[in-house]
Structure 1
């Protein structure tokens, strides 16, 4: 099995898409050959989606594309997934939306582990990734749980961890992340000030792991309480990485592209459709604009039930909004959904 790791892989791919396309098309033969070889062989590939991989024409790559990104964390001998992001890219591959699923989302899980005699149960989403120390078992359970929730199949799957995120920030130097209030880190003595600031790799990693200090009225007013705050910081970090890399010429300088590939190559795994090479996807995503990535919160609310504090997609309006969101990802009508559902669009300023 390939090693999991890294920040969401597609973010990295988009960073060097333009540059690799230029190299392959107009660079020297040696550099072009190296660029293509490195792209196709740096990122490990593994089975992620199982029966829930959508079909696509790999000879004529176009959107819409739905991508499932599982952020993973190794604890002892086990691998867990506590970040789950659905990425939708539109038909002409120029705009994207990220939907973060709350780790405490109250969902039906097909296999709830030995404690439930491996029967189904309804509990927090992150329980789906804790049923076994065997990552292949837990990964399949997480993917099936997300499919059952959304009824979506995914064209591409990926796993990634925080170490890849740290490496990426080191390459660009600093990234900008905004906070709507001042607070102290739960993990260190670092204080994050209100407003937009640039952070190095250590501070950025600390920031995107925060979720325990966000139960003040301002957090509830913005819909960014608890894990929603962590999701907001993670999504900002991804967009900021893309923007900074573009500004620093990573999309045009083959030497920087090589550094980028070597920095995260052993920290990301993915599953592409049969017959697709990484270079094919890289070239296809070259026009994706970081500023055109929309961050979306899953339509849900907090409540207490028999398993504790959870996020619930409520009956009525929330369920209708969620169902419409999954359908919009399927039908590539995200622009219409976003325009009609501004309450679920994340604003962190």
Structure 2
């Protein structure tokens, strides 16, 4: 008896799909997510382009430093970073430009510690011959530190600093008075302790004693004014600047701004509009990386000090470096080692305020 051929397997009947309403919801959800991704990417691209367009690159300083590269010191610890922050007084002086404030920001190679070192503007130093914008060269001379910027711009200030310290400057940033105000306003101001009245007639600002939040011209008055305050010295002004830098860093760290992209971008917008940067920091990404690295360092691992100095016996109102302690500090920075525990401060000798 012949066997019947086995019937081929019959395909399963198609399962009914989700209801039309469900399919529509899924489609709209996927479309919405796709549009969100595209919109976010476009917004980020536009924001990045805006930040990138804000930054002014210090090409002149780059050319001058390249011309004198043979005389610059070598970096002993390549992964450590030394950034020289220069506050320009162009808006005040009008006919010249000097570095009203100079602070070295040192980030350790492991990014576990940092140091901010203030250099007095009236410190007497050897200023080298520097390439000028017209192609000529300035005369090498012994003068106060902030004159270097006037002789040859940021490049001359950098080379003067390097000659004094033996520290290779990896990057530099120049900020104007207006730029400083914009950055401080962008973070909502900084809280400071004012110990005596600080007045700046040029701005129409007088700060009364007490703990207070300062913004804009009030903040600039606090960090810049020296005439008519205490002994009128640059060192007493530096003490206020150090307090301001500490309060600024604590605020940025406590609020997580330096570690939060959504909070950091508005600050970068203000900072990039305010800064002139060297080619190595000319992009928002590079600045973001720098600020993020700084933001990851615990506050108690950030040292804020003044280059040890005393009054110059031959020049009233000027200073000279305390060789022993100054050299110890500079050696620690060059070798990326912990700073000395005690540093002499002519304004607060042995850590005690003058009386």
Which consecutive residues of structure 1, in runs of 5 or more, have no partner in the other structure? 1-26, 132-136, 217-224
Larger Rg: 2
The 2-side partners of 1:162 and 1:290 are apart by 26
State the Cα deviation string for residues 24-45 of structure 1 (Å, max 9, x = none): xxx9544554565555554332
Contact 2:98-2:147 within 8 A present in 1 as well: no
**TM-score, structure 1 normalization:** 0.71
The 2-side partners of 1:275 and 1:262 are apart by 13
Q: Select which of 84, 94, 99 maps to 1:76.
A: 94
Q: Please tell me whether residue 125 in structure 1 is matched to residue 134 in structure 2.
A: no
Could you say what secondary structure the match of 1:212 adopts? coil
Could you say what secondary structure the match of 1:324 adopts? helix
Contact 1:183-1:213 within 8 A present in 2 as well: no
Q: What's the counterpart of residue 17 of structure 1?
A: none
Could you say what secondary structure the match of 1:185 adopts? strand
Contact 1:175-1:200 within 8 A present in 2 as well: yes
The 2-side partners of 1:183 and 1:267 are apart by 28
The 1-side partners of 2:344 and 2:278 are apart by 32
The 2-side partners of 1:288 and 1:258 are apart by 19
Q: What's the counterpart of residue 221 of structure 2?
A: 206
Q: Select which of 57, 60, 73 maps to 1:45.
A: 57
Q: What's the counterpart of residue 304 of structure 2?
A: 295
Using a 3 Å threshold, how does the CA distance of structure 1 residues 161 and 291 change in structure 2: closer, same or farther?
farther
Q: Select which of 320, 328, 336 maps to 1:312.
A: 320
State the Cα deviation string for residues 18-61 of structure 1 (Å, max 9, x = none): xxxxxxxxx9544554565555554332243612486699xxxx
Larger CA deviation: 72-81 vs 295-304: 72-81
Superposed, 1:93-132 pairs within 5 Å as: 93-111=111-129, 118-131=138-151
Using a 3 Å threshold, how does the CA distance of structure 1 residues 251 and 147 change in structure 2: closer, same or farther?
closer
Aligned CA RMSD, in angstroms, stands at 3.7
Q: What's the counterpart of residue 325 of structure 1?
A: 329
Superposed, 1:111-260 pairs within 5 Å as: 111=129, 118-131=138-151, 137-179=152-194, 181-187=195-201, 190-216=205-231, 226-248=233-255, 250-251=257-258, 254-260=261-267
Q: What's the counterpart of residue 338 of structure 1?
A: 340
Contact 2:172-2:278 within 8 A present in 1 as well: yes
**TM-score, structure 2 normalization:** 0.70
Contact 2:51-2:272 within 8 A present in 1 as well: no
Using a 3 Å threshold, how does the CA distance of structure 1 residues 242 and 272 change in structure 2: closer, same or farther?
farther
The 1-side partners of 2:104 and 2:141 are apart by 23
The 2-side partners of 1:42 and 1:139 are apart by 19
Using a 3 Å threshold, how does the CA distance of structure 1 residues 290 and 164 change in structure 2: closer, same or farther?
farther
Using a 3 Å threshold, how does the CA distance of structure 1 residues 54 and 260 change in structure 2: closer, same or farther?
farther
Using a 3 Å threshold, how does the CA distance of structure 1 residues 260 and 280 change in structure 2: closer, same or farther?
closer
Could you say what secondary structure the match of 2:334 adopts? helix
Contact 2:230-2:236 within 8 A present in 1 as well: no
Shift of residue 167, structure 1, vs aligned partner = 0.9
The 2-side partners of 1:348 and 1:236 are apart by 16
Using a 3 Å threshold, how does the CA distance of structure 1 residues 345 and 330 change in structure 2: closer, same or farther?
farther
The 2-side partners of 1:118 and 1:200 are apart by 38
Could you say what secondary structure the match of 2:340 adopts? helix
Q: What's the counterpart of residue 13 of structure 1?
A: none
Could you say what secondary structure the match of 1:339 adopts? coil
Using a 3 Å threshold, how does the CA distance of structure 1 residues 268 and 86 change in structure 2: closer, same or farther?
same
The 2-side partners of 1:249 and 1:149 are apart by 36
Q: What's the counterpart of residue 22 of structure 1?
A: none
Could you say what secondary structure the match of 1:93 adopts? coil
